[in-house]
Chains A and B, each alone.
Chain A
Amino acid sequence: MKKIVVSLLLSLSLLGLGNAWAVDSLNISLAPEQANPPSPQMGDWLKFHSVIENSGSQAAHGVVAWISLVQVDPGHEQPVDLEDWSAHKAVTQAILQPGQQVKVEWPMRLIQAGAYRVVISAVDRETGHVMTSPFVDFQVRRKPVVDSGRILPVALGVPMLVLGMMAWRRYRRRTGV
């Protein structure tokens, strides 16, 4: 009985070692494109490049890589829903042979002003462990969507104009001009 338990523990520890080896075999790099605007503002497009490489000696099956964006403004730290930012949120690779690389482009439209950190994560089917790339920070400048200095006079002025016409009509009716 003792022999069985020892051999079972040994098998489990070997399995664990194998998994650790598989996780460590995925390397992910991340870099912004050279052509990205140096000081981007809302509405601009940014592009990031990442390379996912199987540096191990065994094939990785069912690899999924995805992009994550977090806002890192002090006091406003929060994950960002990429719904409006990018349609290119994840890639999958059925099998990644030892030494094989996958290059991925991550385009992104800047929707909101602030400080952001982008990171690529990947996982394969067997291990379930998440590997992440180094992160890249960027700052988005605010661009006024609408000019509030113009809207306020218009939003108040046009109804006032119509009210003025109503008052003039009332005056005309009263005086019979």
Chain B
Amino acid sequence: MLVEISKLKLNLGAHAVLRDVNLTLQKGQIYGLLGPNGAGKSTTISVVTGLRAPTSGSVRVLGLDPAADALHLHSRIGVLAEQAGFYDWMSAGDYLLWVARLYQKNLDKPGIARLMGRVGLDGQSPAPIDTYSRGMRQRLGLARALINQPELLILDEPTNGLDPRGRREIHDVLLDLSVNQGVGILLCTHLLDDVDRLCTRIGIIAQGRTLLEGSIADLLSAQRAAVRYRLRVEAGEAAQQLPAEITLLARAGDWWHVEIASHIEPASAWRKLLYSGIRIDEIHREGGGLEELYLAVTEAKEAA
């Protein structure tokens, strides 16, 4: 287990910031930590990274107590904070060399160039950081987090400021790290699309409490949440021919609005639809699923 948090409480002065946070992250997993602003996500990260000591509860990261063994922990994790700041007067290459030395890593200039290429900053090493765009700074922050080949990567809004292609490239880097190198990734984000694409496990926290934690498939199934799609099909097909997994919500010409139960693999549903003789030209996901689940859970908490 890379991260194991149980019944975490943290008081800052008289104010209880974290009341009951639980989280487990295994090697090679990407964990999405979700929650509204002020829910306690960043504070949880500060406890995980050893910057704050918990008031009570148990926190183990890479088998270590973060508060007691922060130095050792920091050499084995990589963090991209939400506000990724650098020494803007340095060139990106010099900056990463400096960070590498701080981590006692013997990286040379070609090694830095390779690292930068990996996050999509090929040939940008000599450029001063203050000439970087927001998206480039985000990539540089990711390169910084990867400099010590971490076992655990903690990312706070890593795709902020990136265009769709940039986001896709970062997704690919993270999936490669997780699948091929067994790096565990704790991902804090507001972008459910990122979570949907990357994460196998999520935790939703609000007002300092974990409201829900588990694998996405299990949670969606338990919540009976359904995912909505918009399909363009061949005209004239009858709705009665739909397989049981698919519920037709509305029909407007060639466009069908359908819903699939979240525990059902969408590909198998489309396959059955095709076998039933309905030709599908386009599929668009419209909502439901994780988004519905997130809204349902957080709204219920607010109402309570």
Convert B117-140 into 0s and 1s, putting 1 for each residue whose CB lies closer than 8 angstroms to a CB of A: 000000000111000000000000
Convert A66-102 into 0s and 1s, putting 1 for each residue whose CB lies closer than 8 angstroms to a CB of B: 0000000000000000000000000000000000000
In the complex, whether A149 has a CB less than 8 A from a CB of chain B is no
Q: Whole-angstrom distance from the CB of B140 to the nearest CB of chain A?
A: 16
Query: Interface residue tally of chain A, by bracket?
Result: under 10
Contacts of A177 in B (CB 8 A): 126
Contacts of A176 in B (CB 8 A): 91, 126-127
Which A155-177 residues sit within 8 Å CB-CB of chain B?
173, 176-177
Give A177 to B128 CA distance when docked, in angstroms. Answer: 11
With both beta carbons as reference points, the residue of chain A lying nearest to B125 in the complex is identified as A176
Contacts of A173 in B (CB 8 A): 128
Give A78 to B231 CA distance when docked, in angstroms. Answer: 106
Give A20 to B231 CA distance when docked, in angstroms. Answer: 131
With both beta carbons as reference points, the residue of chain B lying nearest to A177 in the complex is identified as B126
With both beta carbons as reference points, the residue of chain A lying nearest to B127 in the complex is identified as A176
Contacts of B128 in A (CB 8 A): 173
Q: Whole-angstrom distance from the CB of B98 to the nearest CB of chain A?
A: 16
With both beta carbons as reference points, the residue of chain A lying nearest to B91 in the complex is identified as A176
Q: Whole-angstrom distance from the CB of B49 to the nearest CB of chain A?
A: 34
Convert B33-55 into 0s and 1s, putting 1 for each residue whose CB lies closer than 8 angstroms to a CB of A: 00000000000000000000000
Give A45 to B91 CA distance when docked, in angstroms. Answer: 62
Give A173 to B127 CA distance when docked, in angstroms. Answer: 7
Contacts of B91 in A (CB 8 A): 176
Give A76 to B7 CA distance when docked, in angstroms. Answer: 92
With both beta carbons as reference points, the residue of chain A lying nearest to B93 in the complex is identified as A176
Convert B88-118 into 0s and 1s, putting 1 for each residue whose CB lies closer than 8 angstroms to a CB of A: 0001000000000000000000000000000
Give A173 to B91 CA distance when docked, in angstroms. Answer: 8
Q: Whole-angstrom distance from the CB of A165 to the nearest CB of chain B?
A: 13
With both beta carbons as reference points, the residue of chain B lying nearest to A174 in the complex is identified as B128
Give A173 to B90 CA distance when docked, in angstroms. Answer: 9
Q: Whole-angstrom distance from the CB of A8 to the nearest CB of chain B?
A: 96
Convert A126-151 into 0s and 1s, putting 1 for each residue whose CB lies closer than 8 angstroms to a CB of B: 00000000000000000000000000
Q: Whole-angstrom distance from the CB of B136 to the nearest CB of chain A?
A: 15
With both beta carbons as reference points, the residue of chain B lying nearest to A173 in the complex is identified as B128
Q: Whole-angstrom distance from the CB of B169 to the nearest CB of chain A?
A: 24
Q: Whole-angstrom distance from the CB of A166 to the nearest CB of chain B?
A: 12
Give A142 to B127 CA distance when docked, in angstroms. Answer: 58
Give A173 to B93 CA distance when docked, in angstroms. Answer: 13
Give A177 to B91 CA distance when docked, in angstroms. Answer: 10
Q: Whole-angstrom distance from the CB of A48 to the nearest CB of chain B?
A: 65
Give A176 to B128 CA distance when docked, in angstroms. Answer: 8
Give A160 to B127 CA distance when docked, in angstroms. Answer: 27
Q: Whole-angstrom distance from the CB of B166 to the nearest CB of chain A?
A: 23
Give A176 to B127 CA distance when docked, in angstroms. Answer: 6
With both beta carbons as reference points, the residue of chain A lying nearest to B130 in the complex is identified as A173
Q: Whole-angstrom distance from the CB of B69 to the nearest CB of chain A?
A: 41
Q: Whole-angstrom distance from the CB of A21 to the nearest CB of chain B?
A: 88
Give A173 to B129 CA distance when docked, in angstroms. Answer: 10
Q: Whole-angstrom distance from the CB of B122 to the nearest CB of chain A?
A: 14
Give A173 to B126 CA distance when docked, in angstroms. Answer: 8
Convert B127-160 into 0s and 1s, putting 1 for each residue whose CB lies closer than 8 angstroms to a CB of A: 1100000000000000000000000000000000
Q: Whole-angstrom distance from the CB of A38 to the nearest CB of chain B?
A: 63
Q: Whole-angstrom distance from the CB of B137 to the nearest CB of chain A?
A: 17
Q: Whole-angstrom distance from the CB of A173 to the nearest CB of chain B?
A: 5
Q: Whole-angstrom distance from the CB of A168 to the nearest CB of chain B?
A: 14
Contacts of B126 in A (CB 8 A): 176-177
Give A150 to B128 CA distance when docked, in angstroms. Answer: 39
Give A104 to B71 CA distance when docked, in angstroms. Answer: 79
With both beta carbons as reference points, the residue of chain B lying nearest to A176 in the complex is identified as B126
Give A17 to B234 CA distance when docked, in angstroms. Answer: 143
Contacts of B127 in A (CB 8 A): 176
With both beta carbons as reference points, the residue of chain A lying nearest to B128 in the complex is identified as A173
With both beta carbons as reference points, the residue of chain A lying nearest to B131 in the complex is identified as A173
With both beta carbons as reference points, the residue of chain A lying nearest to B124 in the complex is identified as A176
Q: Whole-angstrom distance from the CB of A85 to the nearest CB of chain B?
A: 54
Give A176 to B125 CA distance when docked, in angstroms. Answer: 9
Closest 5 pairs (CB-CB, A-B): A176-B126, A173-B128, A176-B127, A176-B91, A177-B126
**Interface of A toward B, CB cutoff 8 Å:** 173, 176-177
* Sample (5) of A-B pairs whose CB atoms are under 8 Å apart: A173-B128, A176-B91, A176-B126, A176-B127, A177-B126
**Interface of B toward A, CB cutoff 8 Å:** 91, 126-128
